[in-house]
């Protein structure tokens, strides 16, 4: 282990046993067939069912995970739902042990995982602050010294002597984060739980995490689906996929790899896509973006789709939407908004042009659908990914920063 490493994970795996109680309906002919095929195996399995004996299925939430984190690093952990992120944090927080492998942690750990963990519901906010400090090995005088800062940051002065079981989820998270951030642990582990708080508090939390890593040299592990927050906070990012480490590198490299994987998983020809929804009488054959020199804020962008009608249904609508990488819908357009399409051919090509694209620089995904008089015929999410380049849209002294928001609007200023 490197002398400056604070966390070393070697070949850890985590297995869960999923219990299945008895089977479903079995036809009589299947019972008779199975008895004659293998009577001993059949009788053994049926005995278990009659007696209510459970059968178990192995599920590996993590498999052969290896990585090392240095003191003072801020590491993001990303991946799709079910990738193993929360399981990994629980192991590092020593809430659950790994099935196999070894973990070495040089220092104390403070964790903020799912809402409801870490506090005793019957105790007040005040009592839980002192309880958490004691669990982390802090002396009472040190907790008292930090107490006012914790309460002020959490903004729960009025409810300090109320049992936390009566707190809203937002209040709970504010106090839990404040305790974790202000207690002097060497490592701070934060799960997606921050998404419970409002936007202003999330911004406040990110600022606090920046402060404690830069000024105090503490190590932070941060799980989030918010790629913008990860970009702002983290120096390195670990990508989990199906319980394994898929990529671990500098933030921009890992996020780019992650987004490229999302795109490549949906980059087969549209006519061959399996992840589509709809009735299926009409299908999108291909989808492309018309651009000659990249996509820039404030410039026109055109989407072109070829479609095929298999059942001669009447096509009534086309629609396109643009989503950010955190899966928030930013723009949604229907061909029925402007009533420009009179006689839609059963097979053909449709083009939609957004005039002066009002989105700031960043990565986005396009969704597209076709409807008939029967309903939505074909709907493909993430049909394409686009990267919008920075441009001086307003021709002013200041370029639009994505931190100010995703949408830009034409506007004028004057002094009256």
> Domain map of the chain by residue range?
61-260, 276-389
**CATH class for domain 276-389?**
mainly beta
Tell me which of 225-229, 375-379, 405-409 is least confident: 225-229
Q: What is the pLDDT of residues 100-114, one digit of tens each?
A: 999 999 998 888 876
Domains 61-260 and 276-389 fall in the same CATH topology? no
Indicate the SS3 state at residue 170: helix
Q: Answer whether 266's CB lies under 8 Å from 108's CB.
A: no
Q: Bigger pLDDT: 291 or 158?
A: 158
Q: Answer whether 388's CB lies under 8 Å from 361's CB.
A: yes
Token readout for 225 is 């689906």
Q: Judge whether residue 147 has pLDDT over 90.
A: yes
Q: What is the pLDDT of residues 191-207, one digit of tens each?
A: 876 666 666 777 788 88
pLDDT at 197: 61
pLDDT at 40: 59
Q: Answer whether 67's CB lies under 8 Å from 248's CB.
A: yes
Closest alpha carbon to 156 in 114, 197, 216, 212: 197
pLDDT at 51: 47
pLDDT at 415: 95
Percent of the chain with pLDDT over 70: 85
Task: Name the β-bridge partners of 323.
Answer: 329, 365
Of the CA atoms within 13 Å of residue 398, those in its CB half-sphere come to 4
Q: Answer whether 317's CB lies under 8 Å from 335's CB.
A: yes
Task: Report angle CA 36, 41, 44 to the nearest 5 degrees.
Answer: 120
Q: What is the pLDDT of residues 343-396, one digit of tens each?
A: 899 999 999 999 999 998 888 999 999 999 999 999 999 898 888 887 778 877
Residue 275, CA distances (Å) to 258, 263, 270, 272, 282 in order? 19, 13, 10, 9, 15
Q: Cα dihedral angle (43, 49, 53, 56), rounded to 10 degrees?
A: 90
61-260 falls under which CATH superfamily?
P-loop containing nucleotide triphosphate hydrolases (3.40.50.300)
Q: Bigger pLDDT: 60 or 264?
A: 60
Q: What is the pLDDT of residues 300-358, one digit of tens each?
A: 999 999 999 999 899 999 999 999 887 889 999 999 998 899 889 999 999 999 999 99
Task: Report angle CA 142, 205, 246 to the nearest 5 degrees.
Answer: 110
């Amino acid at each position: 282990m490197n002398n400056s490493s604070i966390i070393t994970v070697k070949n850890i795996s985590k297995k869960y046993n999923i219990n299945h109680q008895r089977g479903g309906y079995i036809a009589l002919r299947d019972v008779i067939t199975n008895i004659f095929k293998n009577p001993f195996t059949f009788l053994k399995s049926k005995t278990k069912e009659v007696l209510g004996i459970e059968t178990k299925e192995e599920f590996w939430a993590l498999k052969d995970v290896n990585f090392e984190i240095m003191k003072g690093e801020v590491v993001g952990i990303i991946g799709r739902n079910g990738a193993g992120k929360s399981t990994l944090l629980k192991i590092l927080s020593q809430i659950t042990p790994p099935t196999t492998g070894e973990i070495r942690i040089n220092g104390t750990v403070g964790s903020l995982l799912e809402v409801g963990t870490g506090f005793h519901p019957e105790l007040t906010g005040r009592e839980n602050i002192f309880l958490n400090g004691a669990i982390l090995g802090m002396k009472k005088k040190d907790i008292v010294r930090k107490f006012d800062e914790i309460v002020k940051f959490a903004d729960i002065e009025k409810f300090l002597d109320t049992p936390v079981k009566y707190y809203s989820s937002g209040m709970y998270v504010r106090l839990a984060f404040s305790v974790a951030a202000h207690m002097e642990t060497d490592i701070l582990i934060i799960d997606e739980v921050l998404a419970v708080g409002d936007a202003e508090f999330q911004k406040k939390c990110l600022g606090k995490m920046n402060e404690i890593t830069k000024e105090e040299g503490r190590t932070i592990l941060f799980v989030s689906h918010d790629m913008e927050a990860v970009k702002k906070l983290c120096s390195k990012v670990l990508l989990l996929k199906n319980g394994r480490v898929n990529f671990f590198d500098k933030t921009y490299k890992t996020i780019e790899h992650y987004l490229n994987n999302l795109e490549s998983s949906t980059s087969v020809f549209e006519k061959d896509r399996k992840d589509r929804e709809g009735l299926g009488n009409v299908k999108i054959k291909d989808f492309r973006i018309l651009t000659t020199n990249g996509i820039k804020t404030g410039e026109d962008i055109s989407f072109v789709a070829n479609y095929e009608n298999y059942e001669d249904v009447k096509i009534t609508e086309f629609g396109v939407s643009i989503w950010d990488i955190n899966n928030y819908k930013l723009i949604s357009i229907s061909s029925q908004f402007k009533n420009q399409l009179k006689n839609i051919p059963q097979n053909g090509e449709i083009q939609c042009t957004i005039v002066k694209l009002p989105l700031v620089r960043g990565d986005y995904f396009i969704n597209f659908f076709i409807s008939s008089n029967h309903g939505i015929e074909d709907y493909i999410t993430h049909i394409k990914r686009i990267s919008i380049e920075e441009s001086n849209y307003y021709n002013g002294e200041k370029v639009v920063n994505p931190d100010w928001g995703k949408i830009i609007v034409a506007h004028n200023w004057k002094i009256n």
